[in-house]
Structure 1
């Protein structure tokens, strides 16, 4: 998480009020939709994403997983980030005034079933596999310990019970096996396990970043590994895809890797560009992520989860991918 990232997000929000001319030719692969998107339950596997194409910029969109170069279906919803699983979708978006935001929780027909105000600029979101748990991360400013720099907040809600954790900072923390309290705790990038109780996230404190495992019922988090950011749990629950700061220094960029939770082994992926994103598992063997191509515009790329192969462009003018079906 960097000030540069925050400023880019805020800038993207401002640009939504301005008509921007790109002055480039688009190919058939770049063009958007022949149909309106109005359901998460389209026939066949789909990938949901946020479009960054000039003619559908910011809109939630869907594309056939086996034909990512094909026509897109585009929703009327505009979002800063999206995700979906188990028939539940999320859309991090503006809420009225320019500096007000919310997480819109979507039903299978892409209607807003619930909207939760967010204090801060939204940045990450995830949904549990069965659609019951929803998480978000926002950037905030004003923490006294941070000397005016941006901090992060991560929260979650159980849609079944209505119980909500406004911020993971309210949970009890164990660091390296010992109870831990500090004023500089920051959390981001929640990803859920299959039991609707446990999750993984990133915690930073004292200049270090940790992968933590959380227990919602017990209201606890414990550290698992160092230098792990924006985790994404694999479909089999055994691996974590993540970004890590090169040499532990975010100023040098981030490298995508996969962590084996049982052995602790880390596998660097074939993508060697800096990726400032929370990766997504598009299938048990494939990681998806966004790489900027220009200001306010990105492409979704994929790479094998075992460290082999090479990066491959999957969806141009897109970001925030989520596999459906």
Structure 2
């Protein structure tokens, strides 16, 4: 093959790759432009200033199509279905408590996904930023605002994947000391020290004492609710088949998703009494793949896929005692955080 022919082949290959790259960019731009077009009949969303100091508000990630999609937004707690105010902050996951917020961001990029977590002050301004080891999944802030936790998927795309690994980190927002992974904590299972190479944690929820937390531990194909101590760097298993726990404001119960049948991707929402370790199934009959949030001591909220939009979710609420029926809380929304 002559040098001239090699050069022509090389130039042609470069042009083909450039065309593919341009096509990818243009396709992404078209999809983004469509997402930025408000849908007729969708919720009213307007830009405005939000702070974590506002009272009687429900904050969430806006999932309505339009320029404010994925922006942190809020509505009055007394009128959750009304017009929403959107900030300039965009997140894949969000949570806030006591003037502290965290925002998990994910930028797919053209060649490589970029993920990071932002620690926010009461004005939603970034105080610190940390890189994430994978795709954002769960986020929580302790009731005092001192601790923040987040979970990411290191591989795979969801808890429904046959092969996935999670990494859960905890940040002390006062000292900025970061625990990169809960897998460094000691595990007490069935009253004995437990060691395994397949341990995963996800779905942290904090108690009011700034030490106790609850989370899901996964090992040997089973999940467990664990109670942990931040000061002792230790967790203890409590009960099996508990995922994504959420502690009630009074600290007596945990809302969680329970796998309906082994090796299925269906979860039912339950509330566990921590004194008796008895679980009560809630009235929601759809599969809930979310970490529920307590709106108060009587009601939990969670996200379900929206009808007709696989990339959007709606927020629903249901009584925490197993009575009543589910009711729509906020359409086109996720990651609720009551202020």
TM over 0.5: yes
Larger radius of gyration: 2
- Relative to the length of structure 1, the TM-score reads 0.88
Secondary structure of 1:19 counterpart:
helix
Query: What is the rounded CA distance, in whole Å, between the counterparts of 1:78 and 1:38 in structure 2?
Result: 13
Unaligned runs of at least 5 residues, structure 1: 1-13
**Contact 1:141–1:148 (CA under 8 A) maintained in structure 2:** no
Counterpart position of 1:3:
none
1:188 lines up with 2:202 in the alignment:
yes
- Tell me the matched-pair count: 302
Query: What is the rounded CA distance, in whole Å, between the counterparts of 1:92 and 1:99 in structure 2?
Result: 13
1:62 lines up with 2:77 in the alignment:
no
* Cα deviation, residue 175, structure 1: 0.9
Query: What is the rounded CA distance, in whole Å, between the counterparts of 1:305 and 1:156 in structure 2?
Result: 28
Counterpart position of 1:258:
271
Q: Equivalences for 1:1-325 in 2 at 5 Å?
A: 18-20=32-34, 24-27=39-42, 30-33=43-46, 35-42=47-54, 44-55=55-66, 56-94=68-106, 97=109, 98-141=112-155, 149-251=163-265, 253-293=266-306, 294-324=309-339
* Cα deviation, residue 247, structure 1: 2.4
**Contact 2:255–2:272 (CA under 8 A) maintained in structure 1:** yes
Unaligned runs of at least 5 residues, structure 2: 1-27
Aligned-residue RMSD, C-alpha: 2.0
Query: What is the rounded CA distance, in whole Å, between the counterparts of 1:180 and 1:186 in structure 2?
Result: 13
**Contact 1:174–1:180 (CA under 8 A) maintained in structure 2:** yes
**CA 1:61–1:310: 2 relative to 1, 3 Å:** same
Query: What is the rounded CA distance, in whole Å, between the counterparts of 1:194 and 1:93 in structure 2?
Result: 27
Query: What is the rounded CA distance, in whole Å, between the counterparts of 1:17 and 1:213 in structure 2?
Result: 43
